[in-house]
Structure 1
């Protein structure tokens, strides 16, 4: 699959992450002028240029937020705190291979703190939450369209491979504006659960989602018959995997569906050479080393061979027939993780649909690229129709 059209950086990994920040402008968590000015100031990509440039922009946004708040301008303060949070997240993105790196720890803390300040200034109900999980708690946020305790449909948004509950804000306003509650949270191997608690990704995500739903369904403003699970990026595996065992879900959305991550790992004779080849690449190329080490860190693994073996555990196709709710699989043109939607649809016994979104309509790259409003305009009408057909009408 070819790469999406270049936005600014020649390297597709850096350009993809830059696009991710541009997306955040839709929800007031980035400014296009600030973002492009920062990109022009990055300089050499490898090394500390990326961290330094985005950290400096984040600091300026935070100062602007504090000044606006002191002046009584809550809207400007809220937007500036959201921008600061996103820029701090971007600052540490390419140094995630060592979760104890002081730069990562500082930027992650600032990312969370800036977002927490923004949450205080939202015009609809929003709260930081702690969800009981095993012998600890999971960090997240619960958002509602209004303060009424009338039960409403609720979107549950697990994080992806490298995202956080805070960066899940990208998907919150579209849902809240349509009358949904939203829960975003850090599971094992994500956000606080990784960077602070040092707990790692697990393939059996149903054992994470079940306690999350136990907690969620105790809230009076949540309609237990209208819980929607939306998995984007790596959560395109986590969400359908959890849905094989968790049947309190009314609808499932995967963008894209990634039902068998092990299929992406070399097998047969090629498997013998794969790990040594990757190790050579990592020695020769710092960006390649960071790519693999950041992912291994999320699994708590430091061996390429072990990493490939671990990925083979992340498969759920054999159990897909246990999913009981309707499902929508979104495939965006040039998304490097796409392609699993048809396989998941074939394995399901429930009503399922695969939607192909194209670069011609503005959807180009991972998780719809810059076409986020095209994406929401596709997903939410499907959700409304699905809930209506099942008798779970939106209020």
Structure 2
């Protein structure tokens, strides 16, 4: 019995040592990987595996400038998550959770759970028929990926030691307005302020859930300027953007930014960064030529018309025409930015010292923080 107890103690100590060595990192940089949650702006292929979803980007011209071709990313090339991963020197692209091969050693450097057309609220995404809700994304992380990761790293039951070396990127909220509140406001009797308060409160609880699972370093992406999307061109009446939609986005972003300060007491030892992609994109739209852009109003690809959006389209037509100078366009389809804009967002997120771009610190500083 004593021998058996001693053997168990040795095995426990070896597991603890392995877990401790993982938590110290490899000396190259502080971040071992990323876990990604949200909507199509950060989805890298999860919706490919949803049979009934109308929100898919697994066909040309999506991925026309991506090395692997169409992958499910809603842009012509890399999205913000891909670019941040490169800047963090992660060894590989983050795999989508829904891919059956995303298990075992493939989860060690992170997993992407994001789903196009999803939102903070479960009911958002009804227009796309089938999405993976944010709540379900978090459950997928908790119930499937996290136990797998702990086993891979020899840290069973000690996720708090492991996860402090991972970045948790959350990019969601825009669909809750575009494809929920504003699409259904004739049927729902709630003010914009009340709807936004519900959104930020819900997201706060979702972030706290990730925190209880061990997440400590968060990157929160703002909602983009909703009123400037090309899918709204038919509704603009000559104006560049629809201000009511941009005001809704600003209201949400102000609440999202305030979560950073509240988290200091609600989520001790956590660090959150707010990336103001709203401002970064708005600055480009206001003065496109300053960043080498020529068209800030129209989509680059031929889009499929949508009756719900006054005839304007959101997604590219499969096999449809595409503009030749994609670097000159701000938007690739009716809603999603081009890779060139994603480069601007990721670069400022990683390197800017302006708190109007990133708050309170940038992603590079977050990565290097000792916990």
Between Structure 1 and Structure 2, the one with more helix by share is 1
Structure number with the bigger relative contact order (C-alpha 8 A, sep ≥ 6) is 2
TM-score, normalised with respect to structure 2: 0.34
TM-score, normalised with respect to structure 1: 0.32
